[in-house]
Amino acid sequence: MKSKIIILSLIIIGSFSAKNSAQQKTGLVGLLYDDTKLTRMSSVWYLESVNSSETTWQTKHDFSAKWVGYIKVPVSGEITFYGEADNEMQLIINSKLVISTWGNTDQPEGKLKLRKDRLYPVTLLYKQINGSSYMRIYWSWKGHKKEIIPPKALSYDNNNEQEILKKFKSKTNIDLSKLKFNIASIIEIHSPDDILAKRKAVNKWLWGKDGFPAQKMPSEIDEGISDTNFTSLHNLKRINKLVVNMEFGMNSIVYHFIPEKANGSAAIYHQGHRGKFSLGNRTINAFLEHGYDVFALSMPLLGMNNKPLVNFKRFGRMFIYSHNQMPYLNPKKGHPVKYFMEPVAAVVNYAQKFDFEKLIMIGISGGGWTTTLYSAIDPRIAISFPTAGSLPNYLRARDFTNTSSLGDYEQNVPDLYRIANYLELYIMGSYGEGRSQLQILNEFDACCFRGTGFKTYKDIVRNRVKLLGAGSYDVFLDSSHRMHQISPKALEVIFEYLKKP
């Protein structure tokens, strides 16, 4: 990939005083696109620094971005700017193109006279084409050596942010009139017997003719372990480590966090594709503080879980380290998707000996998907909070802005979803005496399943559960942040929800 070093000379034709900067937020605000032409809008991107090695930077291939905001310099006088980018960038100030390595353009030099503490409007564009990517912008002036522009020199205001969010919403909101099909028509659940039949069919598909593994238990229990990743947790008495062994030498490591002061209920926390469940410390800690026992898991092959070396008759010996390799596994009974569910089943079976009043399950991303499917097949999960983990297939196919909303291997196994599609899984996870499901979606999620498409099915699913006569379903749209996470706001909503009779 080519790398260009650019010396910038900029002439400013306007600015506004720093007295208007009281509401400024540090950094720039913009949009990420899943192509190099600024067309397939993917997510809102808050750029904390113009040094890509010191900020949340994209590692994907073939993307572009556009940010807006302001720049302020600490001195009055002539400033020299320098840029480095792989592949291309543009800098625009006050509607004037002042730097461009975009396409065949190359505008490398110029001088810029600026006034101290003035805010100058900035538009910054970036494009990455295959291979590695980085961007850095420097400045210098007489008596001050060249340095990367510090984050505090960059800012954006509420108007910048609202304009970006408005553009983002315009691409992610779903026009109901354009769906042109009856959403309720794809739901085959009309009675409690239909739920029982679908649950039995899914369990048979997962595990074969023997169905749900009601006797599966952890293979090993190590009591009172220490782990420095969890020293900051509150109300923690001790940690027990559970090991769930499965076919092909696969295992799942589970931590049982036992509270000092317990409320008699337990929560299962399931981490997503980012891997280790210590990433969910905020959620684990919140449940501990409320007196819950917490069982924490990661998805197969991720976190502390192993990546087994398997000897395949037709392929030879190979490590299984990615979910996309799981179709190579050919279990004697059932389907490889069972390896996502079996560790949770073992935990729930194990938890029965503690006689918990209530079992709750919460998961993020792939863990949210796990929560959706598992709560559908096991009615012992009383309340479930799948977070940023799924959308019905008809919405994913329409989300041209972001291919990650199509989901991973396990979310796209046609044989499974022909038995029970996502709308039916939501119903199955919600139905039953004392059961409920609150699906949590992040409106501006940096990864996937964002927007307000849920409005197309929420009332249909909720009303179908009501007609069945037991349980409840709802959706909480979290607009408080721009991340792929269970946010503090979501946790606040969750614990208010748990207070309901």
Query: Is residue 458 over pLDDT 90?
Result: yes
Percent of the chain clearing pLDDT 70 (strictly above): 91
Q: For the chain, what percent of residues have pLDDT higher than 90?
A: 67
Predicted confidence at residue 3, as pLDDT, reads 46
pLDDT, position 394? 87
CA distances from 449 to 314, 321, 424 (A): 37, 25, 18
Question: SS3 string of 174-228?
Answer: CCHHHCCCCHHHHCCCCCHHHHHHHHHHHHHHHHCCCCCCCCCCCCEEEEEECCH
- 24-52 pLDDT, tens digit per residue, is 899 999 998 888 999 888 788 889 999 99
- In a 3-state reduction of DSSP, which class is residue 171? helix
User: What pLDDT is attached to residue 22?
Assistant: 55
Task: Quote the pLDDT of residue 177.
Answer: 62
**Phi-psi domain of 264 (left: phi exceeds 0; alpha: psi -120 through 50; beta: other):** left
Domains of the chain: 4-172 (3.90.182.10), 192-385+392-431 (3.40.50.1820)
Q: How far apart are CA 349 and CA 370, in angstroms?
A: 17
Cis omega before residue 87 (within 30°)? Answer: yes
Res. 225: pLDDT tops 80: yes
Structure tokens at 254: 């589970």
Mean pLDDT along residues 357-367: 97
pLDDT of residue 451: 84
State the pLDDT at residue 14. Answer: 55
Question: Above 80 in pLDDT, residue 405?
Answer: no
pLDDT value, residue 167 = 86
Per-residue model confidence as pLDDT tens digits over 200-210 = 999 999 999 99
Query: Regarding predicted confidence, which is higher, 55 or 123?
Result: 123
Confidence bin at 173 (pLDDT 50/70/90): low
pLDDT value for 12: 44
**Residue 6 scores a pLDDT above 60:** no
445 — pLDDT class (breaks 50, 70, 90): confident
Residue 26: what are its φ and ψ, rounded to 5°?
-70, 140
Give the pLDDT band (50/70/90) at residue 400: very low
Q: What is the pLDDT of residues 65-116, one digit of tens each?
A: 999 999 999 999 988 888 888 888 888 877 778 778 888 888 766 578 888 9
What's the mean pLDDT when you consider all of the chain?
89
Residue 308 has pLDDT above 60, yes or no: yes
10 pLDDT higher than 50: no
Q: Is the predicted pLDDT of residue 54 greater than 90, yes or no?
A: no
Q: Is residue 137 a contact partner of residue 98, using CB atoms and an 8 Å limit?
A: no
pLDDT at residue number 271: 97
Task: Tally DSSP H helices, then E strands, for the chain.
Answer: 10, 25
How far apart CA 88 and CA 62 sit, in angstroms, is: 12
> What pLDDT shows up at residue 34?
82
* C-alpha to C-alpha distance for 255 and 257, rounded to whole angstroms: 6
pLDDT value at residue 56: 78
pLDDT at 282 over 50: yes
Say if residue 2's pLDDT is above 50. Answer: no
**397: closest CA among 87, 224, 181, 184?**
181
Residues 6+ apart with CB under 8 A from 386: 362, 363, 368, 369, 371, 372, 375, 429, 437, 439, 440
pLDDT in tens, 233-252: 999 999 999 999 999 999 99
Containing H/E element for 268?
A: strand 266-270
Q: Which amino acid would we find at residue 336?
A: P
pLDDT at 280 over 70: yes
Predicted pLDDT at 100: 82
Find the mean pLDDT for residues 130-138: 86
Instruction: Extract the tokens encoding 493.
Output: 């909503």
CA 429 remoteness from chain centre: 21
